[in-house]
Structure 1
Amino acid sequence: MHYDVAVVGAGPAGCMAARELASRGFKVLLLDKYGLPREKACMGLLSPEGRRLLEEGFGPLPAECLAEPAEALGVKVLSDGGGEYLLPFSGEGLWVRRASLDAFLARACGAEVRDGCRVTEVTVGRFYVRIRFLHEDDEEEAEATYLVGADGAESLVARMVRPEFYRLHTLPALERTVLVLWEGEADWDSRWLGMVALARGEGLGRFFVRAGTVGMAVSCGEEHRWQRELDTLSEFLSRRIGLALRGEPVRMLSVSNRMARGGRFNLGAGSALLAGEAAGFLDPWGFGIRLALESGKLAGECIADSAGENVTPHLHYLRRARPVLEMWAARGRKRPAGMVGELDLSPWSDERGRTARRDLRSLRRRLGR
C-alpha cells in the first residue's frame, strides 16, 4: 500500500510529525516496533514549552497521562558541599506518565498506526520510500513519498539513510542511561526534579520522589559503571534528604544520543527527514520531550510545505532548523550561562560565594562531558 508519508517511531517526535501532516490531509503510516502502550526509561518531565506544543497540537492532556502531582516547577540542584540551587521554569511544566502519553498521542495523531512492527529495511529515493518490516513474524512492505525517522537515539532510519555519518558521529556519542524505580520516600517536594553533581560521580544524577515511588537515573559511557554511579547517588540522597528505599527495584535501560554537545546533528537526506534524538535533538539536561515535539512538528511542516515542488523537503528542513542548530552548537562550545534549555542559570552564575562558583564549575563540566 502507498502512503504520502511513513513515520517510524511513535514517540512524541513521530506522533507530532504525523499529527502535523494528517491535519493537512496527508495519508500517514505510523510504525513502532513495540506494542502500545509501552514503558520507556524517561523521567516524564514536560517543560512549559513542551506543554504548549502538545496542547496546541493535541489539546489538553487527559488525566491518565498525568502523574500525581502533575505540576512541575523546574530543577533543584544539590551538591556535595551543601549547596542547593533552584532553577525554576518560566512557566508551568507537567509531570507525565510516559507510556500513557505516547499511547494517547498515537491514538490522536490521525495516522494509520501499526505497532509491534520492527523495521528491517529502508530504501530511500527521490520522492520514493520503501519500508520492509516484520509484524508477528510476517514480512510486510509499505511505500511512501516521504519518510520521517523518529526512532530514537539508535535510529535504524538514520543508520540506513546516512550510514557514514552514523558510524563516525552518532555511534561515538551514544550514552547508556539507567532508570531505577523503587518504593520509598524522602524529604523532597515532588514538584521539583532533583539533580546531583557528585564529586565522585562522572555525570549528572537525576531523581524524583512522587506518590511513594523514587526514580533515580544515571548515565554512563561504559556499561559496567552504571551500578557504581547509582550507588554513589543513592548514598548521597540517603544522607542529604533522608532517602529510604523498600522492596525490589525495577530497572529500565535506554540509550541517549549526545551528538549535540559537539554541535553535530543529522537531519536526514532528500525525502527522508530525522526528528528527535534520531537527529541529535536532546536538551543538555537530558529533557528530550520538548525538542522531540519541536523537531517533529518542524519536519511535518517542511514536508507539507514542499509537497508539489521539485525540491526535496530536506532543503526546507535544513534552512528552517538552522537557527535551532546554531543555538545548540553554540551552547556546546561555551560554558553554560543564562538560559540553558528552558532553565535560567543567571542567578547561580552571579553568586559570588566560593561554594556556588565551585558547584557551578562542576555542573558545567558534567553538562559538557
Structure 2
Amino acid sequence: MPTSNSKLPFDIVVVGAGPAGSAAAITAAKAGFSVALVDKASFPRDKLCGGLFTGRSRQNMTRIFNVDVYNELFLECSKMRFRAGDRIISEVLDAPIMWLTMRRNFDEFLFQTALGMGVNNFTGSAALEVNQNENCLQLKDGSSLSYKVLIGCDGVNSFVAKSLFGSSFDPTKIGFGLEVEVPIEAEKSPEQTVEVDFSAADWGYGWSFPKHKSTTIGLGGINVENPKMKQRLAEFLTRYPNSTDLKVKGQYLPFGDFRKSPGKANILLAGDAAGLVDPVTGEGIALAMHSGELAALAASDAIKSNAPQKALRRYKKALRPTHQSLRQAKLWRLMMFPKPMRSVFQNALANGSSLQNMYLDILAGKAEYKNIKSALISRAPKAVFRMIRSKLGV
C-alpha cells in the first residue's frame, strides 16, 4: 500500500473487489497489464446475497480463475422445491447440481486468487473522486491512481456510475432484498434443498438457501411493487423455525434494468454496477464474473491499440449476447409476475414439465432464454399473451 499523497500509474484500475472486480483484475493481470484493485472494505467482508452458485457460475469461475468448486467453500445440492406460499408447486430430487456459498468467504477466495496473479491491493480505502480529464482516481486515504482504463465493479450503489451518470440506478426499476442468516445447530445437518417461493414478494420471490453452517432466508422484488417488504419478510419467516429475532440485512438489487451503455470512453462498468443480474432467477455471480472478464479484455485490447478511449465500444460489442439474453429474460418475467399470469406460470412449472426442465437448465448453464419462451407461451391464454406483446411494443 502506498503512502498518503503518492501517485502511482497503472494500466487498469478496478474499483470493487467482489466477483466482477476480481475477475476483471485477474484477467487484466494475466494479459500482462499493471492492475490496481480498489475497495472501500478490507477483506473478508460480509455481502447480502443468497449465495446460489450455479453451473453457469462454475463454468465462469473455472475459466477465469482456473479453480473449481471444493467442499470447504461450497455446499453441493441437487434438490429444489418451488412453492407458492403453503402450496408446493414442485419438488425436484435430481436437479442439475447447484452449489451454495457464503459470499464473505467466496469473495475473499476470488480476491486472494487475483492478488496471487500480481494484482496490486488497494482495499480498505474508498474512492473519493474520478478525474476523467486526468484519468486519475483519488482515494480517501490520499492515494492517487492514474489509469488508462478504469473499470467500476463497485456494486448497485456504484461510486463510479454516480461519477459518470449522477446516479447509480433508476429508483423506479431497482429491486430490493431482505434476508437473515439462520444458524444450524452443531449436531444437525442442513436440509440441502434449495427452495424458491414465488408468492413471497410481488414481482420477485422468496428463498431459502442452505449453507454448511447456516441457512440464508430472504425475499426480494422490484422495490416500488413492495412497499411493505419488512412485513412480508416477517410473514415469510414464520414458516422457518428459529428464523425470527435475527438481524435483518437489506440492500438494493439490480432486477433487469441493465445499462445499455455501461460506461463512457475509457471508463467501464461491470457486474451489479452495470445492472447485470438475471431478472428471473436473480443470479448475479455468473454475470458479474463474465462481465468483469469482458471489461478487462476490452480494456486490454484498447490499450494494446493505443486507443483506451475506445474501450467502451469494444466492451459493448462483447456484451451484446449478454444484453440480448437479459432482454429475453425480461420478456419471460412478464409471463411470471403479473397477477393474470401467476397461476399460468405456476401450473406450467409443475412436476416434470418442459418449462421446469428448461428453468433448471438455465441455472445449470445448459440453455438460454431464447430456448424456453415457447414452453410457457403455449400454455398462456391468447388474450394475456397479447397484453404482454402490447406492453413490450412487439
Whether TM exceeds 0.5 here: the answer is yes
In the TM superposition, residue 208 of structure 1 has moved relative to its aligned partner by 2.2
Matches within 5 A, 1:306-345: 306-311=302-307, 312-334=310-332, 335=335, 338=358, 341-342=362-363
Structure-2 change in CA distance of 1:266 and 1:352 (3 Å): closer
2:22 counterpart residue number: 15
| 1:179 equivalent in structure 2 | 179
Q: Deviations over 1:125-180 (max 9, x none)?
A: 4xx52111113xxx2211111110000011110111233xx47x634333321111
Counterpart of 2:217 in structure 1 is 216
SS in 1 for 2:97: strand
Matches within 5 A, 1:167-206: 170-183=170-183, 190-198=191-199, 203-206=204-207
Rounded Cα–Cα distance in structure 2 between residues aligned with 1:350 and 1:172: 27
**Any unmatched runs of 5+ in structure 2?**
1-7, 337-354
1:294 matched to 2:297? The reply is no
Corresponding residue of 2:83? 78
The one of 112, 120, 129 aligned to 1:112: 120
Task: Report how far residue 100 of structure 1 moved.
Answer: 1.4
User: Hey, what does 1:245 align to over in structure 2?
Assistant: 242
TM-aligned CA distance change 1:74 to 1:24, over 3 Å: farther
Q: Which residue of 2 aligns with 1:152?
A: 155
Among all aligned residue pairs of Structure 1 and Structure 2, give the percentage whose two residues are the same amino acid: 22
Separation in structure 1 between the aligned mates of residue 376 and residue 324 of structure 2, nearest angstrom: 26
CA offset at residue 56 of structure 1?
Answer: 2.2
**Alpha-carbon contact 1:190-1:208 (below 8 Å) kept:** no
Measured after TM superposition, the shift of residue 203 of structure 1 is 3.1
Q: Contact 1:40–1:252 at 8 Å: present in 2 too?
A: no
Aligned alpha-carbon RMSD (Å): 3.6
When residues 349 and 291 of structure 1 are mapped into structure 2, their CA distance, relative to the original with a 3 A threshold, is same
Residue from 104, 108, 128 that aligns with 1:103: 108
Deviation digits for residues 234-274 of structure 1 (CA, Å, limit 9, x no counterpart):
23xx3xxxx321684132222212243xx643411100111
Q: CA deviation at 1:92?
A: 3.2
Q: Which amino acid aligns with 1:132?
A: Q
Q: 1:200 to 1:65 in 2, by over 3 A?
A: closer
2:275 & 2:94 partners in 1: Cα distance?
23
Give the TM-score normalised by the residue count of structure 2. 0.75
Residues 19, 88 of structure 1: alpha-carbon distance in 2 compared, 3 angstrom cutoff: farther
Distance in 2, matches of 1:204 and 1:218, equals 6
TM-score normalised to structure 1 length: 0.80
Letter of the 1:24 partner, please give it: A
Q: 1:351 to 1:321 in 2, by over 3 A?
A: closer
In structure 2, the CA distance between the partners of 1:353 and 1:286, relative to structure 1 (3 Å rule), is: closer
Q: Tell me the CA shift for residue 184 of structure 1.
A: 5.5
Preserved contact between residue 31 and residue 114 of structure 1 (Cα < 8 Å): yes
Measure, in 2, the Cα distance between the counterparts of 1:287 and 1:299: 19
- Tell me the equivalent position of 2:208: 207
Q: Is the 8 A contact 2:200 2:232 kept in 1?
A: no
CA pair 246-152 structure 1, distance change in 2 beyond 3 A: closer
Q: Is the 8 A contact 1:65 1:97 kept in 2?
A: no
2: CA distance, partners of 1:71 / 1:292: 21
Q: What whole-Å deviation, never above 9, does each CA across 1:79-113 have from its counterpart, x for those lacking one?
A: 23623325799853322221111112112113101
Counterpart contact for 2:261–2:316, Cα < 8 Å: no
Match of 1:32 among 33, 39, 59: 39
Aligned-pair CA distance for 1:349: 4.9
**Corresponding residue for residue 123 of structure 1:** 131
Amino acid at match of 2:122: R
On the 8 A contact 1:170/1:259 being kept in 2, the answer is no
Aligned partners of 1:58 and 1:301: how far apart in 2? 14
Of Structure 1 and Structure 2, the greater strand share is in: 1
Could you say if the C-alpha distance between residues 207 and 189 of structure 1 is closer, same or farther in structure 2, counting changes exceeding 3 Å? same
Taking structure 1 as reference, are residues 353 and 275 closer, same or farther at Cα in structure 2, changes over 3 Å only?
closer
What is the number of equivalent residue pairs in this alignment?
339
Q: CA, structure 1 residues 10+74, in 2 after alignment: closer, same or farther (shift >3 Å)?
A: farther
Distance 1:113 1:246 in 2: 37
Question: Which consecutive residues of structure 1, in runs of 5 or more, have no partner in the other structure?
Answer: none
What is the rounded CA distance, in whole Å, between the counterparts of 1:150 and 1:200 in structure 2? 28
C-alpha distance in 1, partners of 2:151/2:101? 25
